[in-house]
């Protein structure tokens, strides 16, 4: 007889065309919608046309809780949009609820979002109990991306301002950017929801493949142990991307309504993945590669011949990270991480994307593929077969 263990209930898998949850996706996509991001033209044009103050609020409130944009999930999830009576909630339902919350709740939500950042980084830091600015800056800094630290500190210590700015952002994005677009596509979203409801009856793995065209990524699978429910939510502007929110006991998976309805969400073999609220999963097809010359190959092999540099590549395999996140996850000195990143960058295996005063690091998938292809080509004989003998070229 095997070991006795405590069982866990099976995951509940469902779908919901939720406007409040769609707002999470739209706001995070608008936050990322800059030229060269790969996001659709409507997002890029809409962000560019936002009033300056609304753009600032968008960057501020998405830019202080890590690359996964935890804070703007908090007020929407506090609303409990997946309750049966709220799946059809309107924007007014959401805003009335958010106005009813005391300002102190917004500070709690911000602290919870930053706590999730520290949990990811493994720092063990908790929100300070007092108003000591040094302690608060120490707590805030690891989550800063595009926000100004002084402004974030002011908001956390003045929760009434945090509440008003949060509600102003949601209302502003709806009124000035998304209301007309949402109503234009509402029937398509509902149609995609019906498809997702039918798919969800087949279980998580099958539904995920049918709705996103991918297998469940390891980063998401690792978080499912804390989840009781998985809900698929259609979004009109994800394009070739997908994203999820992990907010125990719920996992929200956004999928492209257009791709599902047009039949484009077909299973693929591989995908480079970046998780997070609205964070993109890049499902672009594999790119063609060219052989590296001898010097380039040697530089790349030297770069990956160190255990810590391999660990950095493993970390970046789940998506781009900024330097502090890599330091926190590796548990080695920042100076050492900087040296490792420099060597990976020199070898062309890692690219740097400066944004908001921060440096984000990502794998250059084409270069890494070229390393493997070059080695494979050196092992092939003239007929394209893999050579068993050493010394053959």
What are residue 229's DSSP bridge partners?
12, 250
Q: Are residues 306 and 166 in the same domain?
A: no
Q: Are residues 121 and 222 in the same domain?
A: yes
232 domain residue, yes or no: yes
Q: Is the pLDDT of residue 382 over 50?
A: no
- Supply the pTM of this predicted model: 0.70
- Give pLDDT tens digits for 115-164: 999 988 888 899 998 889 999 999 999 898 888 889 999 999 999 999 99
| Per-residue pLDDT band at 356 (split at 50, 70, 90) | low
287 domain residue, yes or no: no
Q: Is the pLDDT of residue 51 over 50?
A: yes
Residue 322: predicted pLDDT? 76
365 domain residue, yes or no: yes
Residue 4: predicted pLDDT? 60
Residue 282 backbone phi and psi in degrees, to 5: -80, 115
Structure-model confidence comparison of residues 152 and 346, the more confident one: 152
**Do 219 and 198 touch, CB atoms closer than 8 A?**
no
283 domain residue, yes or no: no
| Per-residue pLDDT band at 101 (split at 50, 70, 90) | very high
Domain count, the chain: 2
Q: Is the pLDDT of residue 8 over 80?
A: no
> Burial code of 108-147, b = ≥16 C-beta within 10 A, e = fewer?
ebbbbbbbbbbebbeeebebbeeeeeeebeebbebbbbbb
Q: Are residues 103 and 177 in the same domain?
A: yes
Residue indicated by tokens 């996850």? 329
Q: Are residues 72 and 172 in the same domain?
A: yes
86 domain residue, yes or no: yes
**Do 279 and 223 touch, CB atoms closer than 8 A?**
no
3 domain residue, yes or no: no
Spatial CA neighbour of 22 closest among 220, 186, 204, 211 = 186
Q: Are residues 211 and 331 in the same domain?
A: no
Q: Are residues 252 and 298 in the same domain?
A: no
Alpha carbon separation from 179 to 23, 83, 128, 220 (Å, rounded) = 10, 23, 39, 31
- Give pLDDT tens digits for 207-234: 999 998 888 887 788 888 889 999 999 9
Long-range contacts of 183-192 (CB under 8 A, 24+ apart): 185/236, 185/257, 188/236, 188/257, 188/258, 188/261, 189/17, 189/22, 189/234, 189/236, 189/257, 190/17, 191/257, 191/261, 192/17, 192/234, 192/255, 192/257, 192/260, 192/261
- CATH code for the domain in which residue 316 is found: 1.10.10.10
Q: Are residues 230 and 137 in the same domain?
A: yes
Of 256, 271, 286, which closes a domain?
Answer: 256
Spatial CA neighbour of 303 closest among 333, 342, 351, 361 = 342
Range of the domain at 348: 294-379
Q: Are residues 114 and 231 in the same domain?
A: yes
1 domain residue, yes or no: no
Q: Are residues 33 and 163 in the same domain?
A: yes
Residues whose CB is less than 8 angstroms from the CB of residue 329 and which lie 6 or more positions away in sequence, other chains included: 120, 121, 122, 315, 321
Q: Are residues 197 and 321 in the same domain?
A: no
Residue 354: predicted pLDDT? 75
Of 256, 284, 309, which closes a domain?
Answer: 256
DSSP-based three-state secondary structure for 322? strand
Of 234, 256, 278, which closes a domain?
Answer: 256
Does 300 sit behind a cis peptide bond, omega within 30 degrees of 0 on the bond before it? Answer: no
Structure-model confidence comparison of residues 219 and 91, the more confident one: 91
Name the most confidently modeled range: 167-181, 225-239, 240-254, 330-344. 167-181
390 domain residue, yes or no: no
Q: Are residues 248 and 142 in the same domain?
A: yes
Q: Are residues 108 and 227 in the same domain?
A: yes
**Do 134 and 23 touch, CB atoms closer than 8 A?**
no
């Amino acid at each position: 007889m095997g070991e006795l263990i405590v069982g866990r209930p099976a995951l509940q898998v469902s779908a919901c065309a939720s406007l409040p949850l769609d707002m999470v996706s739209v706001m995070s996509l608008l936050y990322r919608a800059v030229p060269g991001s790969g996001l659709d033209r409507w997002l890029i044009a809409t962000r560019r046309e936002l009033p300056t103050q609304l753009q600032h609020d968008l960057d501020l409130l998405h830019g202080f809780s890590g690359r996964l944009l935890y804070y703007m999930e908090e007020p929407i999830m506090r609303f409990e949009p997946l309750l049966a009576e709220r799946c059809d909630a309107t924007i007014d339902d959401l805003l009335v609820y958010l106005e009813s919350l005391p300002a102190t709740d917004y500070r709690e939500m911000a602290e919870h979002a930053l706590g999730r950042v520290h949990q990811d980084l493994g720092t063990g830091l908790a929100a300070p109990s007092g108003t000591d600015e040094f302690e608060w800056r120490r707590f805030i800094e690891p989550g800063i991306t595009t926000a100004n630290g002084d402004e974030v500190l002011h908001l956390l210590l003045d929760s009434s301002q945090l509440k008003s700015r949060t509600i102003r952002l949601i209302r502003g994005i709806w009124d000035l950017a998304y209301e007309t677009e949402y109503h234009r596509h509402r029937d398509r979203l509902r149609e995609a929801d019906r498809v997702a409801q039918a798919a969800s009856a087949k279980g998580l793995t099958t539904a995920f493949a049918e709705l996103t065209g991918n297998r469940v990524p390891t980063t998401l699978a690792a978080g499912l142990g804390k989840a009781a429910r998985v809900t698929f939510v259609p979004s009109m502007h994800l394009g070739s991307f997908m994203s999820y929110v992990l907010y125990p006991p719920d996992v929200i998976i956004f999928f492209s309504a257009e791709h599902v309805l047009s039949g484009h969400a077909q299973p693929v073999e591989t995908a480079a993945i970046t998780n997070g609220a609205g964070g993109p999963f890049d499902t672009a097809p594999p790119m063609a590669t060219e052989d590296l010359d001898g010097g380039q190959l040697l530089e790349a092999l030297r770069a990956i011949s160190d255990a810590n540099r391999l660990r950095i590549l493993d970390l970046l395999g789940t998506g781009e990270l900024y330097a502090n996140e890599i330091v926190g996850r590796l548990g080695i000195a920042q100076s050492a991480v900087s040296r490792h990143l420099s060597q990976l960058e020199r070898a062309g295996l890692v690219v740097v994307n400066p944004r908001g005063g921060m440096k984000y690091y990502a794998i250059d998938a084409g270069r890494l593929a070229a390393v493997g292809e070059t080695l494979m080509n050196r092992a092939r004989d003239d007929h394209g077969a893999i050579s068993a003998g050493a010394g053959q070229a």
